[in-house]
Amino acid sequence: MEDPKTAAVLSRMLGQAGRSLEMRPSRMTRAAERLRGETLTASTIVPVDRETSNPLADVILAADLPQVGPVLPAAMATSIDALLQEWSNIDRLREGGVEPAMSALIYGQPGTGKTQLALWIGRQLHLPVVAARLDGLISSCLGTTSRNIGALFAFAERYRCLLLLDEFDAIAKMRDDPQEVGEIKRVVNTLLQSLDARKTVGPTIAITNHETLLDPAIWRRFDLQIGMPLPTREARIEMIHRYAPPLELTDTQVVFLSWCLSDVSGSEIETFLRSLKRSYLLNEDPTKFSLLGAVRSYVSLNANRLATRRASALAKDDEALALALRRDPDASPVDLGKLFGVHRATINRWLKSSSGGELAHA
Ligand SMILES: Nc1ncnc2c1ncn2[C@@H]1O[C@H](COP(=O)(O)OP(=O)(O)O)[C@@H](O)[C@H]1O
Ligand SMILES: [Mg+2]
């Protein structure tokens, strides 16, 4: 157990942890039935690019969509909840003469859970997701690209679905080719018109890692713009709890790991914990598993995956690391004795020798 003071701070902090999105089926179930269109099934034929025969979309049926959403900061979870409400009550809003917001652009760094969020929203709405394959859509022959966009939106109009345009900046990137300016304008126009027309049909989510590449006209086309943040400390703690099992962690270890994981994405957090679990499970004697040792070995094998300031602190010896932790409010309240597996007196001696004494009893 942690000392009582640490335990009290920890429990207060964990109580405020970032809220994961939970299922609230009672309020969402009807969304699928309220939209027009035929029902997608596993045998529905998906349109293809005429030249390459590559499919223009992947269909993911509602039952195959993720049951858990990404961990989000509380304020954002509330906004997403509001969006789900809106999309579940499209007809009610329209009866009241209000057009619902039908399109959302999700932007943010890679690995922050954007795709997971979009797919999870489909699941919540009981809607299959038609995920456009932008690689298949964008043909080397630009005339074909416009035609493909038309075919994709026609498909999404025919069937009840959530249309997902992942890695949407691929369209924006086409602008780089100066030879094709006129043709590219046509493609972008087709896209803008298709997006507008879709607003009376069904929900659309576009995703980009490079929002600055997007044309302002495209950006404005979306009713909502949702920025996915890097996880806050509370969100990191919740992710650690989600991805750690079967590795059991003490509260001090959780706070320490969340310190190690400052400024990294959810996907990096998952990768990091997977690596710790591998070390744990491969340990001959699990009681001898050293979390700190496993973290250090991860750092030495994965240069640049953690924030530089964390990686460099972790590469130092125990005394220097203990001092860095003690000095950093983000690492509070970590019980250093427990973390390093040494007596409190030893920690005090380390802190005294490396800091000239001022931190030893802090
Ligand atoms: N906020 C988060 N909460 C929980 N898990 C996350 C989060 N962000 C990323 N992940 C994990 O990383 C995986 C990849 O994330 P993904 O949705 O593909 O990110 P993006 O689309 O933003 O690049 C997710 O499936 C999930 O397992
Ligand atoms: Mg993605």
Residue 175 lies in a domain: yes
Q: With beta carbons less than 8 A apart as the criterion, state whether 192 and 221 touch.
A: yes
Our mutation pick for probing the ligand 1 site, out of 119, 267, 269, 274, counting the most ligand atoms within 8 A of Cβ, is 267
Our mutation pick for probing the ligand 1 site, out of 270, 271, 273, 274, counting the most ligand atoms within 8 A of Cβ, is 270
Residue 12 lies in a domain: no
Both 271 and 335 in one domain: the answer is yes
Residue 350 lies in a domain: yes
Q: With beta carbons less than 8 A apart as the criterion, state whether 191 and 171 touch.
A: yes
Nearest ligand for residue 227 CA: 1
Both 289 and 219 in one domain: the answer is no
Give the mean pLDDT of 92-119.
Answer: 94
Ligand 1 centroid distance, CA of 169 (Å): 19
> Where is the domain boundary, 228, 261, 282?
228
Ligand 1 centroid distance, CA of 56 (Å): 24
Both 193 and 242 in one domain: the answer is no
Ligand 2 centroid distance, CA of 278 (Å): 25
Instruction: Give the number of domains in the chain.
Output: 2
Residue 131: exposure state from Cβ atoms within 10 A (0-12, 13-18, ≥19): buried
> Where is the domain boundary, 228, 262, 289?
228
Residue 23 — pLDDT band, cuts 50, 70, 90? Answer: very low
Both 300 and 214 in one domain: the answer is no
DSSP 166: T
Q: Does residue 283 register a pLDDT over 90? A: no
226 vs 114: CA distance, rounded Å = 9
Q: Does residue 44 register a pLDDT over 90? A: yes
> Where is the domain boundary, 228, 244, 272?
228
Both 166 and 248 in one domain: the answer is no
Parent domain of 264: 232-355
CATH code: domain of residue 113: 3.40.50.300
Q: Does residue 303 or residue 239 have the better pLDDT?
A: 239
Give the mean pLDDT of 121-142.
Answer: 88
Give the mean pLDDT of 341-353.
Answer: 92
Q: Which pLDDT value is given to residue 288?
A: 84
Enter the tokens of residue 172: 């924006």
Residue 224 lies in a domain: yes
Q: Which pLDDT value is given to residue 25?
A: 47
Residue 1 lies in a domain: no
Nearest ligand for residue 272 CA: 1
Q: Does residue 136 register a pLDDT over 60? A: yes
Q: Does residue 254 register a pLDDT over 60? A: yes
Ligand 2 centroid distance, CA of 123 (Å): 17
Both 245 and 163 in one domain: the answer is no
Residue 326 — pLDDT band, cuts 50, 70, 90? Answer: very high
Question: Which pTM value belongs to this model?
Answer: 0.89
What are the strands of the beta sheet with 224-228, ordered from one edge?
A: 57-60, 129-132, 162-165, 204-208, 103-108, 224-228
Both 202 and 351 in one domain: the answer is no
Ligand 1 atom at minimum distance from 68 CA: 4
Ligand 2 centroid distance, CA of 111 (Å): 7
Residues lining ligand 1, CB < 6 A?
70-71, 110-116, 231, 239, 265-267, 270
Both 90 and 203 in one domain: the answer is yes
Highest mean pLDDT, choosing among 25-34, 286-295, 337-346: 337-346
Both 174 and 240 in one domain: the answer is no
Residue 4 lies in a domain: no
